């Protein structure tokens, strides 16, 4: 509270920047544009993933920073693969991540009439023609990157004939694939996208918004720049694979002489231990490797949401990874660090025992129940406290006791004293085993003087354990998630193998835990920290009778590291 605000550190600190922001600043300085307007243009044919979130935060973040505007626009130019279901899902995801398009939700298909008129303009200029070649012929005559293409025999059709034919294409006189409208550019260009690209194809298909109003549909390259132009986009940001398309983007806009946004490309996101493509999501879902597109192991936004990730964490992640043009693979540990950071500050602590070992406090009165005040969040004093019941019979984590403790292990062991979080100091006086030698129960004594966890004589204990009362604790299902793939790069495979061979068999473990009773009735989506273990959130499968938790991420586990190092060193 009495910290002196350090003004100097806030002044002159270079704000986060990247090559795109630099370009925009320069454009603004040169007067090339006098405002900033971006857009996020998903095709409604798949679920969004964390890679889309990166793009979204570049688009939206830039608009925000420059005091500009941001549009959400569905690029729905292909009727055969787009569905309303995806429109709804994408809107939900974009909203969840926190981008605000205000009242600017648009659909590329709403511009079809304008696009059609512009196509006519191009035909009139002699810059577009109706081509009767089949798709196979077009491909053949286009040539290869290393060779040049060949002109279509229909390339020099007269303007009147082109106009007539194009009108009849729209009128539905021809079958699917019978003809196309092509731009007349250069069949010898080293950039194959400039070799008379198709602008319109015939598809007698029902469009999710336009119904059967149209039977010709614009191709991406033709449509996208027009959409940007119509919306007054200043900077059209997209991923690297469109770099080769930019000359075509520019060509259409220049030939039409209409408002011309600037396209800038950046590298898309890759993450370790996962895959990031629509095709692979489909394969994983269809193959039953994951439960659906919202499986918490998938990097889809729906999956991350279900897993317990917060929009804040995702936004933080996007700003940490930056923007550049190098193909990159970001360590998923960065993402995990982001959620831990946010959840540490915000989530309520609770005690849950994953693998219960019974503890009997032999000097504690039978039938007595005490209630302790446990701190809800040490990072947030305003979070207050909660009551946790304590009884003679308790459960602790099986892993928190060792009959023969290894070096550096300072949890419970015979004769050792530890603290039960928020309760008492207890000492292990006896180990009870069954006929197989399996430990079934621990007998401990408690020190009544240590109520709350501190010893009046000032003696210290090294360990604090989480625990639950045997009887009052609840049973709950926990789903422990780990990386979907066993290798950082799932594509690193032996000959004859596929990325499926790298699936991590332990990516999901289902357990039954005992949890303190206060969580009764927690709604799906509620997030907790299970002390000493990790962050968990109530799954959508959870019911009043049966709580189900997803593990979002584990806590950092220094002891596990030490143990691992010792095991290695021991060999």
Give me the torsion for CA of 534, 385, 346, 461, rounded to 10°. -40
Q: Rank residues 541 and 563 by Cβ distance to RNA and give the closer one.
A: 563
Residue 279: in which H helix or E strand, if any?
Answer: helix 278-286
Of positions 38, 78, 236, 391, contacts RNA by CB under 7 A: 78
Is residue 568 among the annotated active site residues?
no
Candidates 138-146, 300-308, 353-361, 544-552: pick the segment binding RNA (CB under 7 A): 138-146
Candidates 63-71, 300-308, 330-338, 427-435: pick the segment binding RNA (CB under 7 A): 330-338
Q: Where are any strands of DSSP class E within 5-160? A: 37-40, 69-74, 105-107, 128-131
Of positions 31, 145, 288, 456, contacts RNA by CB under 7 A: 145
Candidates 95-103, 229-237, 334-342, 360-368: pick the segment binding RNA (CB under 7 A): 334-342
Candidates 112-120, 131-139, 427-435, 509-517: pick the segment binding RNA (CB under 7 A): 131-139
For residue 540 the two structure tokens come to 């959508």
Of positions 32, 113, 139, 546, contacts RNA by CB under 7 A: 139
Is residue 315 close enough to count as binding RNA by CB under 7 A? no
- ∠ CA 333-336-338, rounded to 5°: 115
- Return the residues of window 238-297 that contact RNA according to CB under 7 A: 240-245, 267
Task: Give me the DSSP letters along 26-53.
Answer: HHHHHTS-SS-EEEE---TTS--BHHHH
504, burial (CB in 10 Å: exposed 0-12, middle 13-18, buried 19+): middle
Residue 117 CB contacts under 8 Å (≥ 6 apart), including other chains: none
User: Which residues lie across from 417 on neighbouring strands?
Assistant: 427
Q: Quickly count: other Cβ atoms within 10 Å of residue 276's Cβ.
A: 18
Q: Which of 233, 193, 273 is nearest to 70 (CA)?
A: 233
- Length in residues, the chain: 571
Q: Which of 271, 269, 248, 249 is nearest to 260 (CA)?
A: 249
Is residue 22 among the annotated active site residues?
no
Active-site annotation holder among 268, 358, 402, 451? 268
Of positions 32, 35, 81, 567, contacts RNA by CB under 7 A: 81
- Beta carbon of residue 10, minimum distance to RNA (angstroms, whole number): 17
- Beta carbon of residue 42, minimum distance to RNA (angstroms, whole number): 7
Q: Please answer whether residues 478 and 444 qualify as being in contact, where contact means their C-beta atoms are separated by less than 8 angstroms.
A: no
- Return the residues of window 384-403 that contact RNA according to CB under 7 A: none
For residue 380 the two structure tokens come to 């947030």
- Beta carbon of residue 453, minimum distance to RNA (angstroms, whole number): 2
Map residues 357-386 to x or -, x wherever contact with RNA holds by CB under 7 A.
Answer: --------------------xxx-------
Of positions 1, 7, 29, 326, contacts RNA by CB under 7 A: 326
- Return the residues of window 411-450 that contact RNA according to CB under 7 A: 411, 419, 421-422
Is residue 268 among the annotated active site residues?
yes
- Return the residues of window 162-221 that contact RNA according to CB under 7 A: 176-180, 190-193, 198, 201-202, 217-221
- Return the residues of window 450-469 that contact RNA according to CB under 7 A: 452-454, 460, 463-465
Candidates 59-67, 152-160, 408-416, 490-498: pick the segment binding RNA (CB under 7 A): 408-416
Of positions 68, 98, 167, 322, contacts RNA by CB under 7 A: 322
3-state secondary structure of 352: strand
Candidates 87-95, 409-417, 433-441, 518-526: pick the segment binding RNA (CB under 7 A): 409-417
- Beta carbon of residue 291, minimum distance to RNA (angstroms, whole number): 27
- Beta carbon of residue 434, minimum distance to RNA (angstroms, whole number): 26
Residue 39 CB contacts under 8 Å (≥ 6 apart), including other chains: 59, 70, 71, 72, 73, 228, 231, 233, 236
Of positions 167, 311, 341, 517, contacts RNA by CB under 7 A: 341
Distance, CA of 169 to CA of 185 (rounded, Å): 21
- Return the residues of window 516-545 that contact RNA according to CB under 7 A: 529, 531-532
Q: Which of 513, 539, 541 is nearest to 525 (CA)?
A: 539
Q: Rank residues 37 and 421 by Cβ distance to RNA and give the closer one.
A: 421
- Return the residues of window 490-519 that contact RNA according to CB under 7 A: none
Q: Which of 508, 58, 97, 51 is nearest to 271 (CA)?
A: 51
Active-site annotation holder among 104, 203, 278, 451? 278
Buried b (16+ CB within 10 A) or exposed e, 68-102: bbbbbbbbbbbbeebeeebbebbbebbebbebebe
Distance, CA of 101 to CA of 118 (rounded, Å): 27
- Return the residues of window 10-49 that contact RNA according to CB under 7 A: 17-19, 22, 41, 43
State the number of binding residues for RNA (CB under 7 A).
94
Catalytic residues: 43, 268, 278
């Amino acid at each position: 509270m009495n910290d002196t605000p350090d003004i100097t550190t806030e002044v002159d600190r270079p704000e986060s920047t990247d090559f795109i922001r630099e370009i925009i600043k320069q454009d603004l300085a040169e007067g090339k544009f006098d405002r900033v307007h971006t857009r996020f243009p998903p095709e409604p044919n798949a679920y969004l993933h964390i890679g889309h979130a990166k793009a979204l935060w570049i688009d939206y973040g830039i608009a925000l920073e420059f005091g500009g505007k941001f549009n959400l626009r569905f690029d729905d130019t292909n009727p055969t693969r787009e569905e309303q279901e995806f429109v709804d899902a994408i809107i939900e995801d974009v909203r969840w991540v926190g981008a605000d398009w205000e009242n600017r939700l648009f659909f590329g298909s709403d511009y079809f009439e304008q696009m059609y008129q512009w196509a006519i303009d191009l035909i009139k200029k002699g810059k577009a023609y109706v081509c009767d070649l089949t798709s196979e012929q077009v491909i053949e005559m286009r040539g290869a990157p290393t060779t040049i293409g060949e002109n279509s025999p229909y390339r020099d059709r007269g303007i009147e004939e082109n106009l007539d034919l194009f009108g009849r294409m729209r009128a539905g006189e021809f079958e699917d694939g019978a003809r196309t409208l092509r731009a007349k550019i250069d069949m010898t260009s080293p950039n194959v996208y400039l070799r008379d690209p198709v602008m319109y194809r015939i598809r007698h298909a029902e469009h999710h918004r336009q119904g059967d109003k149209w039977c010709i549909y614009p191709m991406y390259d033709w449509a996208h720049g027009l959409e940007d132009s119509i919306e007054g986009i200043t900077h059209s940001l997209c991923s690297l694979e469109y770099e080769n398309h930019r000359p075509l983007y520019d060509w259409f806009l220049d030939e039409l002489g209409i408002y011309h946004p600037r396209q800038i490309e950046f590298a898309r996101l890759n993450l370790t231990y996962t895959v990031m493509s629509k095709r692979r999501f489909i394969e994983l879902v269809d193959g039953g490797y994951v439960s659906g597109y919202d499986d918490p192991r998938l990097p889809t936004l729906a999956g991350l949401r279900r897993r317990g990730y917060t929009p804040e964490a995702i936004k933080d992640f996007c700003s940490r990874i930056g923007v550049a043009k190098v193909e990159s693979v970001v360590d998923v540990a960065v993402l995990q660090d982001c959620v831990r950071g946010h959840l540490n500050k915000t989530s309520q602590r609770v005690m849950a025992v994953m693998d219960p070992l019974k503890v009997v406090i032999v000097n504690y009165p039978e039938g007595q129940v005490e209630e302790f005040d446990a701190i809800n969040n040490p990072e947030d004093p305003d979070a207050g406290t909660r009551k946790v019941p304590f009884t003679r019979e308790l459960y602790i984590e099986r892993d928190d006791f060792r009959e023969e403790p290894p070096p550096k292990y300072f949890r419970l062991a015979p004769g050792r004293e530890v603290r039960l979080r928020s309760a008492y100091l207890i000492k292990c006086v006896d180990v009870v085993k069954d006929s197989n030698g399996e430990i079934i129960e621990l007998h401990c004594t408690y020190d009544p003087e240590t109520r709350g966890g501190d010893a009046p004589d000032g003696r210290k204990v090294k360990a604090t354990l989480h625990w639950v009362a045997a009887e009052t604790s609840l049973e709950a299902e926990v789903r422990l998630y780990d990386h979907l793939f066993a290798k950082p790069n799932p594509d690193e495979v032996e000959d004859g193998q596929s990325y499926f061979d790298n699936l991590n068999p332990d990516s999901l473990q289902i357990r039954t835990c005992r949890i303190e009773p206060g969580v009764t009735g927690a709604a799906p989506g509620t997030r907790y920290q299970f002390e000493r273990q990790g962050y968990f959130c109530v799954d959508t499968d959870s019911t009043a009778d049966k709580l189900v938790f997803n593990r979002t991420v584990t806590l950092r586990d220094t002891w596990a590291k030490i143990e691992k190092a010792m095991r290695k060193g021991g060999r």
